[in-house]
Structure 1
Amino acid sequence: MISTRLAILELTHRHRLDAATLGALWRIARLGQPSPELDTLLRRAVGMLAALLAGLGLIFLVAANLDALGRREKFILLQLCVGAACLGAAFLPRLRTSLALLGLLVIGALFAYFGQTYQTGADPWQLFAVWAVLALPLALGARTDIVWSAWVIVAMTGLTAWDAAQSGWWRFAGPNLGAHMLVALLASTLAVLMSQPLARFSGAGKVAFNLVVLFATTSLGGAGMLALFASSSWGALYYLLSLGLLGVAAALLTRRRLFDVTALSVIALGLIILLIAGMVRVIGMGHGGEIGMLLVAGLTTVGLMALAVRGILALMREYGTGGKP
């Protein structure tokens, strides 16, 4: 659309076209008319917003623990909402995405109210794990990027909560590197399953894939950083494993069929951070040369970032702006 406008303006300037001719070209290019896809996009956006607001409204209703309804009535209300959303997603194709998203949110509200009512003592990660498992058929049935993105957020939150419960990473004392690496490997596996070659089986899109890549890169980078400065004998192995997985992922994403500029940029940043951290760890900063070390690390970071940006821009020019073959 922008290139068409520029071409018309260039023709107008080159041939000194009058206003009538310019208007005719404008009408032929249909630049003054709304996009035919605008109505569809608006309908989808309104449907998603309605589903999101309805689902969050039910969650807030449960969280407020209102006394207007009894325990049984609240359970019945939530279960009816889950059933109605799932049945609607199954039999109403035009509303499938919105109703599937609503069903996913209401499943979380139902389990939150169950845990609030009976105080089972379960860890928070168990709630998110069960939520993700029960919502998986909805995501597979809806086969839309929006529902998969919401599912990814739920699943990744569960993995993060499990990691925190196992290792206590917030204390930075004796971190359980095995738990960190297991979470990173699970996230990396999920990223592979949501990649473009396998997306035709799941229906996941680029947004869900990029969310998983962001989480997997953060997990691998965090595990590698902790492994570098940990006293455990497994530290070097975990660091090299994190570095190797990110390197393999970056190499795969440079291929024409798999190229994704967002995912590749995230992974490249994770690789640079791990490389700089490894350099700092090897050279050391405890011998009075902190300023010099920081200068070297800063210059190296700038150089690696420049190389990464130049390489990604070259791939974009070769494959096309969107990264499509």
Structure 2
Amino acid sequence: MDRTLYEWAARQPQGSDARIAQLHAVATAPGDARALARNMHRGLLFVAGVLLASGLIFWIAANWQEQTRMFKLCLIEGALLVSVLASIFWRRGRIAALLCATLALGGLLAFVGQTYQTGADAWQLFAAWAGLALIWALPARSDVLWTVWIAVAAAAIGMWWGRFNAWEMLFSGGRAATQQLLFIGMWLLLALVPTLVSLAAWTRHRQGVAWWSHRLALALALCAWTTLGVSGLFSRTDSPLAFALCGLLIAATLALSYKGRLQDFASLCLGALAANAWIMALTVRAIPSGSGDVGAFLICTVVGIGCLAATVSGLLAVQRGLRARADGVSAGGMQ
């Protein structure tokens, strides 16, 4: 049932023309059985691809000693080759085959690094994995593949930065400002990948923007910006540059998610959550040292309740506006 059409038809006065009755019939009509079958088939293909690739990766992780090194290498390379060839000649299972190929590629790189001891760091493995996976992620135009790619690229960025000591960053001054800016810029670039991909006709998703990968990239970037900004605000060096820059990026995320081409309610909710964390961190930092525990607790409670109320009321207003706009589009299509 189409809930939007149903609610719009139900609000019309009794005795309206036959078009409203037709709209109500369309809204309450059962779904297309063939579409359900196609979706189930596609979903089962995705599950099969993930299971095959996961089985291969777990087999590599087991590091069985019964098989020779060459046999293991040929098996992984063969699985990767078969997956790529299947994506070329099997149109209906193309995305599932490429998903299997992406995971097999990661297993191959991990096996080579584990067997031959190349000396590369873990973040370099994930960076190479993401770079090579672009070969088929770009022309495939699949939100599923881009979501996996975002996760791999985010792991590379996180592992590159993850060599720092979190406790040291919070209380001993953290890293240099140039490294902080580089880290912020890397997450910004990752958050912009789905948007940049949607600008080219040969890589654009059929919906314009691959929304799930966009939301994942945005969520990871907001988490990194919030963490880095708050840690910079409370470090001993008291460098507010990262905190201010992260606040500007969070504000830009809210603005772009509210209006424009990247308008998305889920992204707006993610930005609102990051903004609340940013405001609460600023509140805690601004509390005078002589306020005492009780006074600090009361201030944080009042500010937290105010942020929660403003966020909920604002998101509800945006949601009502989106529904009203959808209702207007539906009504205009019936005229």
TM-score relative to the length of structure 1: 0.85
Among 237, 240, 243, the residue aligned to 1:239: 243
| Paired position in structure 2 for 1:18 | none
Distance in structure 2 (CA, Å) of the matches to 1:194 and 1:132: 14
Q: Is residue 308 of structure 2 the alignment partner of residue 309 of structure 1?
A: no
Among 253, 256, 263, the residue aligned to 2:257: 253
Q: Are 1:260 and 1:323, in contact at CA under 8 Å, matched by a contact in 2?
A: no
| Paired position in structure 1 for 2:156 | 158
Q: CA deviation at 1:190?
A: 2.2
Three-state SS of the structure 2 residue aligned to 1:48 is: helix
Q: Name the % identity.
A: 30
| Paired position in structure 2 for 1:45 | 43
Q: Unaligned 5+ residue runs, structure 1?
A: 16-24
Distance in structure 1 (CA, Å) of the matches to 2:41 and 2:176: 46
The residue identity in structure 2 corresponding to 1:209 is H
Q: Is residue 187 of structure 2 the alignment partner of residue 168 of structure 1?
A: no
Q: CA deviation at 1:69?
A: 2.1
Q: Are 1:177 and 1:223, in contact at CA under 8 Å, matched by a contact in 2?
A: no
Q: Are 1:128 and 1:157, in contact at CA under 8 Å, matched by a contact in 2?
A: yes
Number of aligned residue pairs: 312
Distance in structure 2 (CA, Å) of the matches to 1:320 and 1:90: 41
Three-state SS of the structure 1 residue aligned to 2:187 is: helix
Q: CA deviation at 1:163?
A: 0.3
Distance in structure 2 (CA, Å) of the matches to 1:323 and 1:105: 39
Q: Are 2:147 and 2:216, in contact at CA under 8 Å, matched by a contact in 1?
A: yes
Q: CA deviation at 1:264?
A: 1.1
User: Relative to structure 1, is the Cα distance of residues 135 and 299 closer, same or farther in structure 2, using a 3 angstrom cutoff?
Assistant: same
The residue identity in structure 2 corresponding to 1:304 is C
The residue identity in structure 1 corresponding to 2:126 is F
| Paired position in structure 2 for 1:130 | 128
The 10-residue stretch of structure 1 (189-198 or 271-280) with the greater mean CA deviation from structure 2: 189-198
The 10-residue stretch of structure 1 (78-87 or 265-274) with the greater mean CA deviation from structure 2: 78-87
Q: Are 1:199 and 1:205, in contact at CA under 8 Å, matched by a contact in 2?
A: no
User: Relative to structure 1, is the Cα distance of residues 244 and 27 closer, same or farther in structure 2, using a 3 angstrom cutoff?
Assistant: closer
Q: Which has the higher contact order (CA 8 A, sep 6+)?
A: 2
CA deviations on 1:97-128 (whole Å, 9 max, x unpaired) are 00110010000100111111112222111111
Distance in structure 1 (CA, Å) of the matches to 2:152 and 2:48: 20
Aligned pairs for 1:185-200 within 5 A: 185-195=185-195, 198=199
User: Relative to structure 1, is the Cα distance of residues 170 and 130 closer, same or farther in structure 2, using a 3 angstrom cutoff?
Assistant: farther
Distance in structure 2 (CA, Å) of the matches to 1:180 and 1:26: 56
| Paired position in structure 1 for 2:213 | 208
Q: CA deviation at 1:5?
A: 6.7
User: Relative to structure 1, is the Cα distance of residues 258 and 230 closer, same or farther in structure 2, using a 3 angstrom cutoff?
Assistant: same
Three-state SS of the structure 2 residue aligned to 1:93 is: coil
Q: CA deviation at 1:258?
A: 2.1
Q: Are 2:173 and 2:237, in contact at CA under 8 Å, matched by a contact in 1?
A: no
Distance in structure 1 (CA, Å) of the matches to 2:183 and 2:127: 13
CA deviations on 1:141-178 (whole Å, 9 max, x unpaired) are 2211111111111110111000012x233654442254
The residue identity in structure 2 corresponding to 1:271 is A
